[in-house]
Structure 1
Amino acid sequence: MEAYFKLLESYGGRDKVLRLCSFAAMAAAGNLKGESARRLLSVAGQIGEARTVLRLYDGLPMLRRTLRLGLGSREQDVLARLLTVLSTWSIQLFYPCEALAWAGKHRILGVKDPGKWAGLSVATWAIFLAAQIVKSLLKIPGKWNTIEKLRKQKVLEGNSDIREQNEVLHWSLAELQHELRTEFLSLVQNLSDLMNAVHWLPKGWLWSGKLSLGQSGLLGVISTSVMLYSSFLTPPKHK
């Protein structure tokens, strides 16, 4: 219970809970009819509007982070570096596009075609998700192979009298397993979100507009549940 209260104390934690409630309402509305469905859709819409307004404040902090990352020089592999740059700048462009769409929709600014900006914001989010998925698919095999090597090494050195060496090997294996688990969860989350992102693109793009309300809500529930579960995962501590 204490962990739940800590989650609600942070902006990110509250956003995840709101996201889950919004998608759960959509999933339920997709399986209901009449007034019940209308009310649930209204709840989902109001939560979505609240989250959009709160995201207006995320643009500048995200820009600062983007400028710090630069051209992804921390990544050793060229492809990984390119994917990092692509994902970083695409999600950065998401914020001004969404802000213009919101301001135009509510007639705060004289934006000629708010729908166009809304479509662009979804497109940038989809590019970000696709880049993150490719990065995960590149990382998972390497981490898996390293874990297998460490497991074999652990078996071979299981009877070793060097206690310190065994502890380092055990900790390295636990840390890699945690990283692999995190990468798998990220892959599931991003795949679920990408399904929705493409669905919300303008008609003519892959499966845009093809998902039902219930399916879209369910995908959102899956991705958000993974987000919440991941937020409670803690890396192994080195004794």
Structure 2
Amino acid sequence: MSTELDNITRVLTSYTGRDKALRTLCFMLHVRAQSGSPLKDQLIGLAKQISNARLCMRQFNHPSMFKACQHLIQNSSKPADVVDFTCHSTITGVYTVYGFVELAAWLADAKLIKIDSAPLWRWCLYLWTAALITGIFRCIRSIYKKSQEMKAHMAKEDIVTLVGLTSDFASAINSLPFKFLWAGKLTPRQSATFSLIASFIGLYKVC
């Protein structure tokens, strides 16, 4: 019992652990709300509050994202694996831009800047989707390389990450505002379930 409590405390003490726990709780509420619960509106309202809390917390990520970009620039001369380094750099760069676009959209929603937030939120979705696609390609390539090098047993973490990324990708595509693949074809419960799977995997990885 003491060990379990220590593990829970360790996870929830870190920013990443709290964020993953909140994301998991948020989509658990969404799935439950879409399962015929008489408290549907209340559950969705609570999930929205949790989502807003995560949004506020993410605004403190900007310095660390800048530092990550700076580190990548400093180590860009001779990467050991050019393709993997390019994918990693792309993901980091996209999420850095995402952070500032999201900040602008948040401030626009709060009426602190006089611009329409809707296009900004759409760009957040596009940037997130681009990062997911890059991450999926990177994972598939890593799994393939390890299988070629007879190190398939070392690809377990990559496979878990791939399942999480593809789950998020399924939900992201469904949210696109135009016809592409299965955009708009998933039910709210199906979309929330994919996001919940990705959230559980994210939480598992920090435990």
The one-letter code sitting in structure 1 at the alignment partner of 2:83 is: L
Q: Which residue in the other structure is 1:53 paired with?
A: 56
Instruction: Report if the CA contact (8 A) 2:91-2:135 is conserved.
Output: yes
Q: Which residue in the other structure is 1:220 paired with?
A: 195
The one-letter code sitting in structure 2 at the alignment partner of 1:88 is: T
Matching of residue 136 in structure 1 with residue 111 in structure 2? no
Instruction: Report if the CA contact (8 A) 2:167-2:195 is conserved.
Output: yes
Flag the 1:145–1:194 CA change in 2: closer, same or farther, 3 A. same
Q: Which residue in the other structure is 1:201 paired with?
A: 176
Identity percentage of aligned residues: 25
Q: Aligned-pair distance for 1:31?
A: 1.4
Q: Which residue in the other structure is 2:113 paired with?
A: 109
C-alpha separation in 2, matches of 1:74 and 1:210: 44
Q: Aligned-pair distance for 1:93?
A: 0.9
Task: Name the larger-Rg structure.
Answer: 1
Q: Which residue in the other structure is 2:124 paired with?
A: 121
* Cα deviation 1:126-148 (Å, max 9, x = unaligned): 11111010011111022123336
Report which stretch shifted further, 69-78 or 93-102.
Answer: 69-78
SS in structure 2 of the partner of residue 56 of structure 1:
helix
Map of 1:1-239 to 2, 5 A cutoff?
1=4, 2-32=6-36, 35-70=38-73, 72-73=76-77, 75-111=79-115, 113-147=116-150, 177=153, 179-232=154-207
Instruction: Report if the CA contact (8 A) 2:24-2:203 is conserved.
Output: no
Give ranges in structure 2 of 5+ residues lacking alignment. Answer: none
Give ranges in structure 1 of 5+ residues lacking alignment. Answer: 149-175, 233-239
Instruction: Report if the CA contact (8 A) 1:16-1:227 is conserved.
Output: yes
C-alpha separation in 2, matches of 1:41 and 1:73: 48
The one-letter code sitting in structure 1 at the alignment partner of 2:157 is: T
Output the aligned Cα RMSD.
Answer: 1.9
